[in-house]
Structure 1
């Protein structure tokens, strides 16, 4: 496959711009395609390191240049500006996370007008991806993932929960909480809190909620950003044995918590695929006019104490 992909028939657009320090590429290629990868993730979100690793590996494997860009604070207006800047450089393809459909609709319409192929990934739905004119979407159906998690919790006897939403401005995060509520057979309301991303703030808000609602049976966090401080809150409140704990995504700390029983399971959306596959598909498209006709569901997969040993050593790098 690698040999096949390296037989490039496309020419590099002369003078293609790079984005400097924020690019994952260490040097410009004299010949090859150039893609721009724009995520909504703030610099503080370590979960995206797996995707960055995949982007770097794919760029090396296929001899292409990939510029990774993101708004440092997670500001979506800043993300939209980054996308417009990327479009102005006429890349061979654009990869974008759908953090907010309305914010990105205008910039991506410009990409479509210029004939720049777009693949969406991670956040957003397949329907939103199609409406934005993307070739396909690579990600996890968020409501379905939350639903499956809620059904697991319900089978364990859970009837109520707290959803710690550290990125509430992203509609996909709300879908996770809504799916979990649906799986339990309850309505989503005040049990979803806007924790924001500061670890101290997350810990404080979780502790305050648990003091006000001491009969909380389960907690759902939406990634390491909220899971790590929530673990500390439960430890300080001596509630580890009282609360059923589920989280989205993996990290070394989450893996350890699954092994020792502090977290019951993690929902893995396989982010490495979300970083690697868009570059694969855009490279095939640029060189041979090939593109899959269907979206790709990268998750959900459920990681428990029974299978954590298979993925623990890969957490933060490939899982």
Structure 2
């Protein structure tokens, strides 16, 4: 941790001379993420970005590859950098594919904060100021330990975005928390609801000894909820998920889902804008990465947060 703090502090100090002279007038930032247009999970982050625009008097452009193609995302990063914004916020779903475009942006003198997916080490290697997000392997491991405490030994990880390293890290962490190998317990479900549901039903039929299910967000959780209700396993199998949605909130309340890992996406949108704005205006930056999660939402506390799902949670 000490080395991490020192590294981030040196990055901030080395860039101070250029950053503190930036004008506050007409500041424009670009937020780039990796998911397709169909992924509604990002609505909370969009809300946070809109609030940050009003709070700080800046403009924030939200961009993503319409189909979730990482090659398209890399080109979006290149285009954003070429437009010379005052800062870029970007996810790291595939370090190798995005290394060139992101480091090029940094070399152009554009302040970069990485968000959501990616590790602290990857963020530093790209030259970013810091990372705001949830350590995905650690979050998965904490979830696996929770399932292990309930007696689970085998599981199904429903990975709806298998091309994202962060998604696989969640599954790997869950296996580590259970103390088992991931092996073939992760399936590539895709995002089509019918296909997700059918693949989950097929896996559970072929592997009736499965003790637990982990879904990685609303895109896979919703169809999986339908699957376990259809095959009679709802409330009988240890079912946990990442993130929140109306369907997940309802499943937490009725006991189909036992817990949801909360990475607090609102913070992943609002904080990077706040940090880049204060960095450009005053030359100050926090000297460390910011972990926005994990936290756990259960039946006991869902009422306190369900009304805010999709807006602030």
Alpha-carbon distance in 2 for matches of 1:183, 1:142: 13
Q: Indicate the residue corresponding to 1:261 in structure 2.
A: 255
Instruction: Give the TM-score taking structure 1 as reference length.
Output: 0.90
Q: CA deviation at 1:242?
A: 2.2
Provide the C-alpha distance between the structure 1 equivalents of 2:230 and 2:300, rounded to a whole number of angstroms. 27
Cα distance in 1, alignment partners of residues 82 and 22 from structure 2: 20
Q: Find the counterpart in structure 2 of residue 279 from structure 1.
A: 273
Aligned to 2:110: 116
Corresponding residue number in structure 2 for 1:28: none
1:86 is aligned, of 80, 94, 97, to 80
Displacement of 1:192 in angstroms is 0.3
Given that residues 166 and 196 in structure 1 are in contact (C-alpha distance below 8 angstroms), is that contact kept between their aligned partners in structure 2?
A: yes
1:123-181 CA-partner distances (Å, limit 9, x unpaired) = 00000000000000000011110111011111111111000000111111111111111
Deviation at 1:10, TM superposition (A): 4.2
2:51 match: secondary structure: helix
Q: Which has the higher contact order (CA 8 A, sep 6+)?
A: 2
Which residue is 1:11 aligned to?
23
Q: Residue in 2 aligned with 1:76? A: 70
* CA distance in 1: counterparts of 2:91 and 2:187, whole angstroms: 23
- Give the whole-Å Cα distance in 2 for the aligned partners of 1:142 and 1:86: 27
Q: 2:244 aligns with which of 250, 253, 257?
A: 250
The runs of at least 4 consecutive aligned structure 1 residues that moved more than 2 Å come to 8-12
Deviations 1:299-319 (A, max 9, x none): 000000111111011011100
SS at match of 1:83: helix
2:172 is equivalent to residue 178 of structure 1: yes
**2:192 pairs with 187, 190, 198, which one?**
198
Superposed, 1:20-169 pairs within 5 Å as 31-169=25-163
Deviates more, 1:272-281 or 1:240-249: 240-249
- Aligned equivalents of 2:229, 2:106: Cα separation in 1: 50
Partner-residue secondary structure (3-state), 1:36? strand
Secondary structure of 1:215's partner?
coil
- Cα distance in 2, alignment partners of residues 117 and 75 from structure 1: 25
Q: For residues 63 and 32 of structure 1, what CA distance do their matches in structure 2 show?
A: 8
**Counterpart in 1 of 2:3?**
none
Structure ranking higher in helix proportion: 2
Aligned-partner Cα distance in 2 for 1:51–1:140: 14
Q: Compute the RMSD of aligned alpha carbons.
A: 1.1
| Distance in 1 separating the partners of 2:59 and 2:310 | 23
Give distance in 2, aligned partners of 1:243 and 1:112.
47
Mind listing any 5+ residue stretches in structure 2 that lack a counterpart? 1-19
8 Å contact from structure 1 (residues 10, 32) kept in 2? no
| TM-score of the superposed pair, with normalisation by structure 2 | 0.92
Q: Counterpart of 2:226 in 1: which secondary structure?
A: helix
Q: Which runs of 5+ in 1 are unaligned?
A: 1-7, 13-30
Task: Determine if contact 1:217/1:242 at 8 Å carries over to the other structure.
Answer: no
CA–CA separation in structure 2 for the residues paired with 1:227 and 1:181: 18
